[in-house]
Amino acid sequence: MAITIKDVAKLADVAPSTVSRVIANNPRISDKTKEKVKAAMDELGYHPNFIARSLANQSTRVIGLVLPNSTDVFFQNPFFPTVLRGLSDGANERQYALQISTGKTDDEIFEGVVQMVQGRRVDGVILLYSRTEDKVLNYLRERKFPFVVIGKPFKDVDQITYVDNDNYKASKEATNYLLSLGHKQIGFIGGDLNFVVTIERILGFEKALREANIESNDEYIIHSEFLREGGQEAISQLLNLKNPPTALVVADDLMALGVLNTLTEMKISVPEDISILSFNNVLFSELSNPPLTSVDINIFELGYQASRSLIRLLSNENEPVRRIIVPHKLIKRVSCSSRIIDIKTAHPN
Amino acid sequence: MAITIKDVAKLADVAPSTVSRVIANNPRISDKTKEKVKAAMDELGYHPNFIARSLANQSTRVIGLVLPNSTDVFFQNPFFPTVLRGLSDGANERQYALQISTGKTDDEIFEGVVQMVQGRRVDGVILLYSRTEDKVLNYLRERKFPFVVIGKPFKDVDQITYVDNDNYKASKEATNYLLSLGHKQIGFIGGDLNFVVTIERILGFEKALREANIESNDEYIIHSEFLREGGQEAISQLLNLKNPPTALVVADDLMALGVLNTLTEMKISVPEDISILSFNNVLFSELSNPPLTSVDINIFELGYQASRSLIRLLSNENEPVRRIIVPHKLIKRVSCSSRIIDIKTAHPN
DNA sequence: TTGTAGGCGTTATCAG
DNA sequence: CTGATAACGCCTACAA
């Protein structure tokens, strides 16, 4: 058996409760006994047992993280490690530990969350995604269990604490940038429409076009995973239109990489033949060929703020519902070029 | 307060211990009471409290994961999410939860591990990396705390349970492949030499050259992070040698992407001017331009086997020390080409 | 300022 | 087959 509070008490010749108070740094305890107890702890190499403490306290100092199911591209996406780093930093600052949901299917994940919550394994939960319909989120709300969402909730926005970018605005700005370069035919390639971020980005895209008095064209909008095989077909479909787009807004860097790959195979040059603008600005956006112009959404900060918000929620009895918006920034590289110049070398239809 | 075992006991009109037995599926309990208790549990919506159970059991059913410090490229690398998925699947199968170390610096990480271990927050630990000198590993060994390493331990290989590829062999085979294509001047670009995987890969590389009676050339070997700025200089240095290499073995796909990027900027074509072969075969290896020939190391399996091994270690009193080698496989794409053909179009010196 | 005692929710031992 | 009862290690009134 390991060293317990009692062993320390015995050695220091005090009561266990006194040792407990020293650990908690209780102010009303004499410096003398405090020293004595600390000496005893050092001598024995005492470490408090978190489990016992949790049971007595009804609090674990553990945050549960819920990831979307692992078949999602999400998992392959560098977004995930980066946001995790932010979460980790935020948690670490206040000595919280992180526990992650395991489970392949949505049902397994849900079951895992129930275990975390009802099994009292965690004090609060962070959802690393936001979907239009989510069993987990509904469950947490019903039980009034403390949680924070990374991404904008699909409904009841003002009743849920969340951390997000202004993806609507970001997408609008990005599209405006392409417009300012002289593009008039702009396509949008998005991911899964169940994710709110996809919806926000497409809405911002459409809004920008509307403001520029360009009528939106359904044929210019594609949704698919767009990595590997699927991509080629969708892209050629897009480029075989009578008026193919001269620029594309792509919902995510990884997807953009897939698009880039397909275009290369088709001998279409970026940005000479077509411009590409994407989101997230993960590490390899600048390592791609050509380097991608991308909207930096400060992924790390999303995670960091999410941890902090949840911890605030857990510490303050009645912390208000909050929304935290992390700023974004367009990073211009070389995948977008001005239509005014490019028109000379453009692909003839 | 939540529903406890006592509430269930009262409703079912049995003793708490009986309820506990039902939960544990104790064989010597009548089917009748079993039903009665289960009905009561359902009626009340009872869920066992893991914390209390852990305290009584001296076992948490939580596995601690230790990542290298977050400044490492490791974190940006798709390796991480993939191995995590494997770990997660393995853990989930046996209803173990995963907790990850937080902490930026090596010291913070070490402190975190001590908390996990001495604070009895986890039953065992998995190290997601292997370094030449590692405080955490030494600590775990000293305390005889159950753990598994992903990667080959630097020393005492036969006393530590680990899951790894045969990186030595993989690298040798990869190099042989380049040799078989007619390359004789082959360079190596590796990462941090503190990681055992880097060492193994370089040794395999050198061995292949030796077997082919090619004397190794120190100028052909470079170690650096090789993403962004640093890369260009190192690469041009390499290519400005009197006899520049015609092929490169790169320790990692992400690094290879950096190299590719630098080469593109320098107007050097791959594979026409120089061939590139890398390791890991992460998702974007096939999305790069050109798609990378890469050694698939089955990252998912590394994680999966690691979880399973640790769980075995935790269940069987005296499970033997094991080494598990996950097979690798060279995936040929287009970043390597035959020197015999290419010589005509090759870069003249 | 410190000690005593009961409780946090389970499991396990021992009777019966 | 089932019921008391004592752990597990810590916290926190309440008492002194």
Contact (CB<8Å) B70/A49: no
Q: How confident is the model at residue A254, as a pLDDT?
A: 87
The DSSP call for residue A20 is H
Q: Which of A32, A31, A49, A40 is nearest to A13 (CA)?
A: A40
The mean per-residue pLDDT over the stretch B267-277 comes to 94
In a domain, A38, yes or no: no
In a domain, A49, yes or no: no
Confidence category of residue B235, pLDDT binned at 50, 70, 90:
confident
Same structural domain for residues A278 and A316?
A: no
In a domain, A266, yes or no: yes
Give me the DSSP letters along B217-257.
-GGGEEES--STHHHHHHHHHHHTSSS--SEEEES-HHHHH
* B114 contacts chain A (CB < 8 A): yes
Same structural domain for residues B71 and B148?
A: yes
The region that residue B279 occupies, defined by phi over 0 for left and psi between -120 and 50 for alpha, beta otherwise, is: beta
Same structural domain for residues B176 and B80?
A: no
Query: Residue B305 pLDDT > 60, yes or no?
Result: yes
Q: How confident is the model at residue B342, as a pLDDT?
A: 46
pLDDT tens per residue, range B118-148 = 999 999 999 999 999 999 999 999 999 999 9
Same structural domain for residues B315 and B173?
A: no
In a domain, B1, yes or no: no
Residues 164-223 of A with CB under 8 A from B: none
- In angstroms, the Cα distances linking A91 to A61, A314, B112, B247, B278 are 9, 12, 12, 45, 35
CA distance B246 to chain A (A): 21
Q: How confident is the model at residue B233, as a pLDDT?
A: 72
Same structural domain for residues A128 and A193?
A: no
Q: How many domains does chain B have?
A: 2
Q: How confident is the model at residue A230, as a pLDDT?
A: 58
Query: Residue B3 pLDDT > 90, yes or no?
Result: yes
* A52 contacts chain B (CB < 8 A): yes
The kind and range of the H/E element at B32 are helix B31-44
* A71 contacts chain B (CB < 8 A): no
**Nucleotides in chain D with any atom closer than 7 Å to protein CB:** 1-5, 7-13
In a domain, B6, yes or no: no
Instruction: Report the CATH number that the domain containing residue B105 is assigned in CATH.
Output: 3.40.50.2300
Q: How confident is the model at residue B346, as a pLDDT?
A: 47
Same structural domain for residues B68 and B200?
A: no
Name residues of chain A where pLDDT drops below 50: 342-344, 346-349
Which residues of chain B neighbour A79 with C-beta distances below 8 Å?
none
Q: Which of B166, B222, B195 is nearest to B77 (CA)?
A: B195
Confidence category of residue B343, pLDDT binned at 50, 70, 90:
very low
Q: What is the rounded distance in angstroms from the CA atom of residue B202 to the CA atom of residue A38?
A: 50
The DSSP call for residue B157 is G
Q: Is the CB of B59 under 7 A from strand C?
A: no
Contact (CB<8Å) A97/B92: no
Q: How confident is the model at residue B225, as a pLDDT?
A: 60
CA distance B289 to chain A (A): 7
Question: Domain limits at A255?
Answer: 167-297+331-346
pLDDT tens per residue, range B201-229 = 999 999 999 999 998 888 999 887 655 55
Same structural domain for residues B284 and B175?
A: yes
Instruction: State which residues between 45 and 64 of chain B bring their CB within 7 Å of strand D.
Output: 52, 55-56, 58
Same structural domain for residues B187 and B118?
A: no
Same structural domain for residues A77 and A90?
A: yes
Q: Which of B135, B117, B101 is nearest to A92 (CA)?
A: B101
Nearest CA in chain B to A63: B99
What is the overall mean pLDDT for chain B? 91
Q: How confident is the model at residue B72, as a pLDDT?
A: 62
pLDDT tens per residue, range A271-282 = 999 999 999 999
Q: How confident is the model at residue A342, as a pLDDT?
A: 46
In a domain, A71, yes or no: yes
What's CA A120's distance to the chain center, in Å? 24
pLDDT tens per residue, range B82-109 = 999 999 999 999 999 999 998 889 999 9
Confidence category of residue B340, pLDDT binned at 50, 70, 90:
low
Same structural domain for residues A204 and A339?
A: yes
Q: Are B194 and B132 in contact (CB under 8 A)?
A: yes
Q: For residues A91 and B78, which has the higher predicted lDDT (pLDDT)?
A: A91
Q: Which of A89, A86, A139 is nearest to A110 (CA)?
A: A139
Q: Are A157 and A324 in contact (CB under 8 A)?
A: no
Q: Are B154 and B138 in contact (CB under 8 A)?
A: no
In a domain, B17, yes or no: no
Same structural domain for residues A173 and A250?
A: yes
In a domain, A133, yes or no: yes
Q: Which nucleotide is nearest to A36 (CA to C1')?
A: C2
pLDDT tens per residue, range A149-207 = 999 999 999 999 999 999 999 999 999 999 999 999 999 998 888 999 999 999 999 99
- Provide the CA A54 to C1' D16 distance, Å, integer: 29
Contact (CB<8Å) A254/B283: yes
Q: What is the rounded distance in angstroms from the CA atom of residue A237 to the CA atom of residue B211?
A: 51
Same structural domain for residues B218 and B315?
A: no
